[in-house]
Structure 1
Amino acid sequence: MSTEPDARAPAPPARQRILDAARDRFYADGIRAVSADRLISDAGVSKVTFYRYFPTKDDLVVVYLRGIEEEEFAAMEAARVEFDNDPASILHWYFERVGAMACTAGFRGCAFLNAAAEFARMDHPARVVVEEHRRWLRGRFADIAAGLGVPPSEVGLVADQLQLLRDGAMIAGSLDANPERVATEVLAAADAVIAAARSRHAGPGES
């Protein structure tokens, strides 16, 4: 059976082509730097079609961020199932994933942090999505911390530490000339957080 792409296969629907173009351009070049005309050209659609699906650029930015968010939701849920809800395994997987992303060609950091840097107003639609995503992620870190036996009074602190670690790795991975080093160190740091959380609250005879 031939593995060559079928030249007769229909092109993706116009809306999806616009989203694909936006995802590539927004991430590589920055949201504000990319014009609607540039996306219209990349997607091969008319202005009428573009504005039919996305009346404003902000509408497109929100859908772009929501799409990345949904992928993260799905990946976290798949990990939860794969590791049978074991919190240490899920956290280890998450930071391995962050490290692997940092080593990917063209990595420019976290799309949500990048968007937050471009839009200062907290009521901007993009910032609303960013803040919702960060609350969700912090909640997952809090769940993991609780699963590791961290007392309720310290769960928030551990979740904050893990989120700071994640943010730092995303930024360092986009700036460091040696992203492999970032990948190695973030995983070691995550393991240290896990070990510290366990050792602080281990009972007699536990490690």
Structure 2
Amino acid sequence: MPETAAVPSVPAAASAAAASPRERLLETASRLFYAEGIHTVPVDRLVTEAGVTRATFYRHFPAKEDLVVAYLRATDDRLRAAVAETVARGEAARGVSAVLDLIGEVTCAAGFRGCHFINAAAEYPDASDPVREAITDHRAWFQQTVTDLASLAGHPDPAYAGRVLVLLHDGALSAAELDDPETVRTTVRRAGHDLLGLPQPD
């Protein structure tokens, strides 16, 4: 789901001077990894744009992979908070509808470049890698979240509905980078409402 330009990002320049070196590194990694890819961004560029030394980098992150994991964990935290806030604004039974709306907002956001986690998985094929473990944890949370919401919405088979909603999420975040994002947004919302028997959105 939803940070991914695409989701709420690590607070940037407004408090850059006050941010700790670790926070600046995370903000820089979040921006560059998402926009350009992880493997294409070297440590030298990260330290330069974050305004820290290499020694400071390695004090906080013994290896670049540690920063990648921290970036994904921070993205996961922001997405969990965004989903919780979105669901809390509506009735419990319409929580999935709110999440579908959030996915649609993400796909139409400026600077959208797909899903942070799917993008990272493409660069880290080893399922035992700590980066993939962070991705797996995020997806397990999202799967459980939409399954629980489908149950609250009264779907007779919430486990099945949850799996379909994950597929809709993944498809939307992949297709919106290649096709018309507004069409993707309306299609995902319609499909999700059809799945749960909810009234179609305006």
**TM-score normalized by structure 1?**
0.84
Determine helix, strand or coil for the equivalent of 2:86. helix
2:49 paired with 1:46: no
Q: Pick closer, same or farther for the CA change 1:144–1:24 going to 2, 3 Å.
A: same
Pairing 1:9-158 to 2, within 5 Å after superposition: 10-84=17-91, 86-88=92-94, 90-151=95-156, 154-158=157-161
Cα deviation for residue 13 of structure 1 reads 1.6
Between the two structures, name the one with larger relative contact order (CA 8 Å, sep ≥ 6): 2
Q: How much has 1:9 moved relative to structure 2?
A: 8.4
Between the aligned residues of both structures, percent identity stands at 39
Alignment partner of 1:167 is 2:167:
no
Structure 2: segments with no counterpart, 5+ residues: 1-13
Secondary structure of residue in 1 paired with 2:128: coil
Equivalenced residue count is: 186
Paired residue type of 2:25: I
Tell me, yes or no, if the aligned pair for 2:86 and 2:102 is still in contact at 8 Å: no
- CA–CA distance in structure 2, aligned partners of residues 150 and 79 of structure 1: 20
Q: What is the root-mean-square deviation of aligned Cα atoms in Å?
A: 2.0
User: Which consecutive unaligned segments of at least 5 residues does structure 1 have?
Assistant: 1-6, 199-207
CA deviations 1:89-140 (Å, max 9, x no partner) are x111111111111111211111011111111000111100111111111101
Query: Runs in 1 of length 4+ with deviation above 3 angstroms?
Result: 7-11
TM-score by length of 2: 0.86
Q: Structure 1 residue 81: deviation in Å?
A: 2.7
User: Which amino acid letter does the alignment assign opposite residue 87 of structure 1?
Assistant: A
SS in 2 for 1:174: coil
